[in-house]
Amino acid sequence: MYIGTPPQKTNLALDTGSTLTWVQCEGCKSCFKLSMPNFNIRRSTTSRPMLMITHFVFLQTLALGQNCVYGLFYYDRSSTYGPFGFDTFTFLSERRQLAIPNVAFGWGLFNKVNFNDYFHGHDNPIGGILGLGRGHPTGILQQLNQITLRRFSYCLPPQFEAQSLLHFGEGAQIGGPSVGSTPILGGPDDYYFTKLDAISLNGQRLQIDPSLFMAGGKGMAVDSGSPYSHIVAEAFKAFEHHNEFCMTILSMDQSDGLNILGAAQQVNYRFLFDVAALRLSFSPENC
C-alpha cells in the first residue's frame, strides 16, 4: 500500500489483534531496522496532525499541547508511541487504484518493535501495523466502513516471499465444500474471540478440559499479528505428553488468561471476518 501525496510505498503487517494502524516515520527517535525508507511526513502534502478537537480523541489518545499522541503496548511487550495524524491511503487492487483521504493513523517515532525476528536473517520489509481489530473509531474497519462494510478476508501463504491479497467489503468472499463457520463472541475487545471445543493432533483428539479454552471467559483469540499460537499451561501439557516439537505453539501462564490462534496455525487457510454479522468463516486453501 501507499501513504501520502505523492504516494510513498509502505508495507504493513496485518494485525487482527489490534485496531490502531501506525507506521515508522523518518526522524524516529527509537527505530527498528527497515529495508526500505521510513515514511516521510514532511514530503507528503496531505499529512496533517490530529488536533484535540477531532472526534477520534475520546478513546486511546492523549493530548500533547494541541496535538494528539498515541501509546500502544502489545502482548509481546513491544511498543510504539508518537503523534496521531491524517493522510491519504492508497490501496492497489486487481482492477484499480483507490486513494482514500484523511485516514487517521499513528506516526511512529518511538518504536520498540523487532520485526526482524520473523524473517530469519532476511532484511525486514515491514514498516508498521495495519490494525484490523474491531470496535475502536480509529480502526481501519470503522474509518472506512463504507468501503470495508466491516468485513475482510485473507489467506496467509507459507513463505514470506509469497504474495496474497487482503480483501474488503463485497470482495471478501469464501467458498468451497470445506467452509466452517463460528460466531465471533461479543464484547468491545479488540480481539476476535471464538469458542474452541477441542484440539486434535495427527487425527487424535487430545484430552484437554474444554474449560481451559475459555480462560478469562472469552475463548480463543484469532490473532494474525501473533506469529505463534499461545495456549494456557495446563492445556499445553497435552502436547508435551505426545512429545511433539516445532509446532510454533507456546505455553502461557494461566494468569495471562489468553489462548491465541497465531499466524503459523493460520497458514494455507482463508479466513473471512464478517464483523457486522459477528461471524468468522474459514476454509483450507493453497495461498
Domains of the chain: 2-148 (2.40.70.10), 174-284 (2.40.70.10)
**pLDDT for residue 59:** 42
**pLDDT for residue 215:** 66
**pLDDT for residue 241:** 61
**pLDDT for residue 63:** 46
Averages of pLDDT over runs of 10 residues in the chain (287 residues) are 96 93 97 95 96 52 65 87 95 84 96 79 87 88 92 89 85 92 80 87 80 77 88 73 58 65 91 95 94
Q: Letter for the amino acid at 100?
A: I
Tell the residue number behind the cell numbers 492497489, with chain if given.
92
**pLDDT for residue 240:** 65
**pLDDT for residue 245:** 53
Mind telling me the catalytic residues? 15, 223
